[in-house]
Amino acid sequence: MLVELLIVTALLSSVLVMLAPDEYAGQFAAALSLVPVAASLWMYSVFDGSGNALLAGSQPAFETVAEWITLGAYTINWHVGLDGVSMPLIVLTTVLTTLAIISAWTPIDERQSQFYGLVLFMEAALIGVFAALDFFLWFVFWEAVLVPMYLLIGVWGGPRRKYAAIKFFVYTNVASLVMFVGFFALVFGLGDSISSLGLPAIAQALNAGELGSLAGIDPPMLKLLAFIAMFGGFAVKVPVVPFHTWLPDAHVEAPTPVSVLLAGVLLKMGTYALLRFNFTMLADVARANAEIIAIFAVVSIIYGALLALAQQDLKRIVAYSSISSMGYVILGLVAFTPHGLGGATFQMISHGLISGLMFMAVGVIYNETHTRMIGDMSGMADRMPVTAGVFVAAAFGYMGLPLMSGFAAEVLVFLGSFQSEVIQAAPLFTSIAMFGIVIVAGYLLRAMQKTLFGPFRLETDYEIGRAPFQDIAPLIVLLLLVIALGVAPDLFYKMIQDSIAPMVELGELGGGA
C-alpha cells in the first residue's frame, strides 16, 4: 500500500495547502512535500522488484491489485506496482516537486495557496502515471496531470499565458485521443484472449502473437496502425520534432517553478509511455521500423539544438535543449541493446535533474534582473557568483562533462546505439547524434559568455546582488544530485538494467512477430 500512501499523501497535502493562508502556504507546502520524498527514498532503499512490470516472470515491488469496475467483457482493476524503470521516476518526481516549491517562494507572490495546492495535486497524478499497471487507471492519472498544468500556466504565467496554456491543452488532449484510439484497436483485436485492461496482460498477449483481425484489418497492419497512433500521441508529450511547437511557448510563459516540473518530469511521461507501450507491447513493430524512428530521434537532436542556437531568451534556449535531449532517449530506446535501453531510461532521470537545474538558475537570474534576454545583460558572475557558478556547472552537465549525470547518460546511449543490430547503419545515426553535443556546446557557451562574463551593463534603478538562500538552496541540492549520479550511475542504473533486460530479448526475438 506504499504507492497508495504516496498518492493519498500528495492529494491530502494539496487540499490542506489550498485551505492555508497565503502567507504560510509556501512553507507549509514544502514541509508536507517532504513526506513523499522521505517515503519514496525509503521505498528506493528497500526496493526488491525484479524484471519488467509488463512482462512475464516479473515481480513488481509494492504491487497492489484490487477489482474496481466491470465494463462489459473487461475488468478494470486498481493495479499499481514499481519496477526498475518506474522507481527512479517516482523518486525524481517527489524530489523535484519539493525543490520546485521552494524555488517558487520568491517569484510567486499572489494566490500562493492555490498555486502550491495545484503543484501537489500534479505530484499525485504524476506518481499515478508512473505506478499504474491498468490502462484505465493509468489514463485517469495521465489526463489528471493536464488540469493543474493548464491552470499553473494560464493563471500564473506571463503576458501570453492564456495562448500558451490553451495550446498546451489542445495539443496534448488531441494527442491523448489519437493514442487512446490506437490502444483500444489493440484491445479489441485481442478479443477473448484478455479479460481486463491490465497492461501486463495486454503486453504479454500481444507478444505471444494473440492479436486477431479487426474490421477487416489483418494483425500485422493493425499493429502498425496502432503503433503509429500511439507513437504520434506520445511524441507530442515528449516532444519529438515536428510535434514540438507547443513546448517553447509553454516554457516561456510558465512561471519558472512550473517550467522545472514541465521539463523535469512531465516530458518524461511521453518517453516513459513510449517505453511501456510502443517498445514493450509492440517491440516487433519498433524493430521493423527502427530506421524511421531513428530518423525522428536524430532530427529532434540536431533540429532542437539548432533552434536553441538561434534563441536570445534563456528560457527558450533551455526549452529547445529539452527537445534535443529527448531525441537521445528515442535513439536509445530503438537500439534495443542493454546500454541503449538502459541509457535512454537513465537519460530520462539525468535530463530531469539537469533541465530542472538550468531552469531554476535562469529563474534566479530573472528574479534579480527581470529579464531573460542574453543581449540585455552581462557580467552577472560578479554580482551573483554562486548562481553563475551553478549555471556554468549545469551547462557543462548538459554538454556531457565527465563525472556528471549527463556524461553517463549520453555515453550509455551512444554505446548502445552504436552496437545496435536493429538499426541499419547504426554507427552513422550515432555519429550524427554525437554531433549534436557540438551544437549544444556552441549555444550554451555563447549564452554563458554573453550573460555571465564581461563588464556589467544592465541598467536598473535598484541594486542587483546575491540571490537569497531560499533561491540558492534548491540549486545546490540539484547540482549535488547531478554529480552523485555522474560519479555513481549504479545508484539507479543497476535496477534499470534489471528491468530492461526482458525488453532487449524482445528486440532480439522480434517481439510477437
CA distance 163 to 370: 22
What pLDDT, on a 0 to 100 scale, did the predictor assign at position 513? 44
Contacts of 428 (CB under 8 A, 6+ apart): none
Report the candidate in 171, 198, 136, 426 with the shortest Cα–Cα distance to residue 290: 426
Cell numbers representing residue 366 in the block: 530573472
Q: How many CB atoms lie within 10 A of CB 334?
A: 31
CA distance 303 to 275: 23
204 three-state secondary structure = helix
What pLDDT, on a 0 to 100 scale, did the predictor assign at position 510? 55
Contact present, 270 and 234 (Cβ < 8 Å): yes
Q: How many CB atoms lie within 10 A of CB 34?
A: 13
pLDDT band for position 452 (cuts 50, 70, 90): confident
CA distance 15 to 366: 30
The stretch 283-291 carries a mean pLDDT of 93
> If you search the block for the grid coordinates 498544468, which residue do you land on?
149
Instruction: Tell me phi and psi for residue 335, to 5 degrees.
Output: -70, -30
Q: Where are the domains of the chain?
A: 2-509
Instruction: State how far the alpha carbon of 22 is from the alpha carbons of 93, 109, 111, 118, 491, in Å.
Output: 24, 9, 6, 14, 38
What pLDDT, on a 0 to 100 scale, did the predictor assign at position 168? 92
Contact present, 14 and 120 (Cβ < 8 Å): yes
Cell numbers representing residue 486 in the block: 555522474
76 sits in which H/E element: strand 74-82
CB-count burial class (<10 Å; 0-12, 13-18, 19+) for 504 = buried
Q: What confidence tens digit (pLDDT) does each residue in 64-77 have?
A: 999 998 887 888 99
Q: What confidence tens digit (pLDDT) does each residue in 15-52 have?
A: 999 999 999 999 999 999 999 999 999 999 999 988 99
Contact present, 474 and 102 (Cβ < 8 Å): yes
pLDDT band for position 473 (cuts 50, 70, 90): very high
DSSP result, 438-498: HHHHHHHHHHHHHHHSS------SS---PPPHHHHHHHHHHHHHHHHHHH-THHHHHHHHH
Contact present, 90 and 43 (Cβ < 8 Å): yes
- Provide the whole-model pTM: 0.95
Contact present, 26 and 108 (Cβ < 8 Å): yes
Q: What confidence tens digit (pLDDT) does each residue in 322-369 have?
A: 999 999 999 999 999 999 999 999 999 999 999 999 999 999 998 888
- Greater model confidence, 464 or 452: 452
First to last CA, the chain: 37
CA distance 190 to 226: 13
71 sits in which H/E element: strand 61-71
Query: 3-class secondary structure for 47-68?
Result: CCCECCCCCCCCECEEEEEEEE
What pLDDT, on a 0 to 100 scale, did the predictor assign at position 285? 94
The stretch 205-225 carries a mean pLDDT of 91
Which sign, positive or negative, has the C-alpha torsion 261, 275, 141, 77? negative
Counting residues of the chain whose pLDDT is more than 90, the rounded percentage is 78
Q: How many CB atoms lie within 10 A of CB 99?
A: 27
